[in-house]
Structure 1
């Protein structure tokens, strides 16, 4: 009410009962030192509640911009509307977060690069990263550059993004959505604090092959990049250096650095020598060696000789 000003507030107050007018007036009189973020939060919450309870679809951005501009000023109005519409877009994007990243990339493949960048900017970072990996290699750095340069998104772009989401949902409703169920189940099991062995036994009663697929997803080769040095050193003692040379071909730099960082200097020199002597290796051979290494990891983790961190945990200083 204070944000609206006396004339608009008076018009609103006429529709309250005497007791309500007294209560609101007392609350207004007690307010002091109200910061702008508090104003934005209160008005944003008001519009959210209004939208849920009203049968009216909602005012357009241009209408709200004109009305609120008169009451709050242009700067506050712009911040408020960006917050309202940005959160609305994110809420709608939540409906799409279970889509396979490859399918996501296909949905936005024909859009302009700037719209693709805006689309990725509204996704959770982990999902956006996976979608980016499925975009053409020659465009990935451009998209990341555009995302990094985003600061303020105007109403027209938000409207276009909203239409893109609508088109995507329409395509998904007609063609169906690819959901990475096995990957999701593996991620859940990686975080499961109960008896995993018992859970897997129960799952095997349903489908033994499915359990194998879940376990393979849980023990992806890349998880070695997040292991402690002593864990990696224990693996380096039981797995031949020649196997590591093959397995690390084409691996992510983060993983290569983690393995090499755990090697003593003498073994590091041996690995460099083996790498220089080794020529091209078939991809099937690399994948098989990685599977063999992860089979050892799973066996050592199962008998308790190795402590494996299966997912990236947040840390606190």
Structure 2
């Protein structure tokens, strides 16, 4: 990592530095309140941090404390720190899986534990299962993870799965328990989920919304060919980045508080001018000027990077919407 001040660090990197400066026990207590993807992001940042200087540590910790001293050598021998901290926070089974995922790559146990696995691993795990089992698994997981899982299947299988997800409303407890038991035996773990309601058109729309744009367009086209009404329902429920222009000012302001400046600049590189103006309008004059300058000075970027940044912001927006903090409009004629 280059030798610069804390303001140049990403939010995830700053979170990683803060946790590493707290000590294993305190950091473990914080991690207990984070979700799988959040823990993975912070853990991965810890594993890759190097050459962190004193001023960077002080800059990060000063956001929470009045003074910091004696914090040096960050990023040196961090593997053992990460192992100990995650084990305290999550227990040996989950920590072992996440440690492998961050540092090596490995297994875990039970239906819930699929959330801790790489999408490709989940895809390989269910590849030879009945399509209805595949649909249940995809419905059970978060949309962004499910979208990545679908990308590992061919067009025909992907279409079959998403059609089944859209028509899925409930799963009998016995069937869900049997699926969980199968996974438990494969992982030699334990656990169990009592969730019986899952799937549906909204879940299908959320997943399609987060797959690759070309893939999503193809899926929608083929779904519409098979069932025009279903295709319309899915498209109506999708919320794409350009739809942020329809979110009220209060919602945009709440969203911006959760989005890093680097991520915002990247996402806005390929955004509709209406979305850009919506963002600028809800920032201070100084902040808007800085953002405009950053956009102008930003060199060429890959379309995939812009789409990735936009999807990350959409994921944050949906989380805030689920929590009732913002209201998202419906409809999405354009894809990311």
Shorter-chain TM range is 0.3 to 0.5
User: TM (normalized to structure 2)?
Assistant: 0.30
User: TM (normalized to structure 1)?
Assistant: 0.32
Higher Rg of the two aligned structures: 1
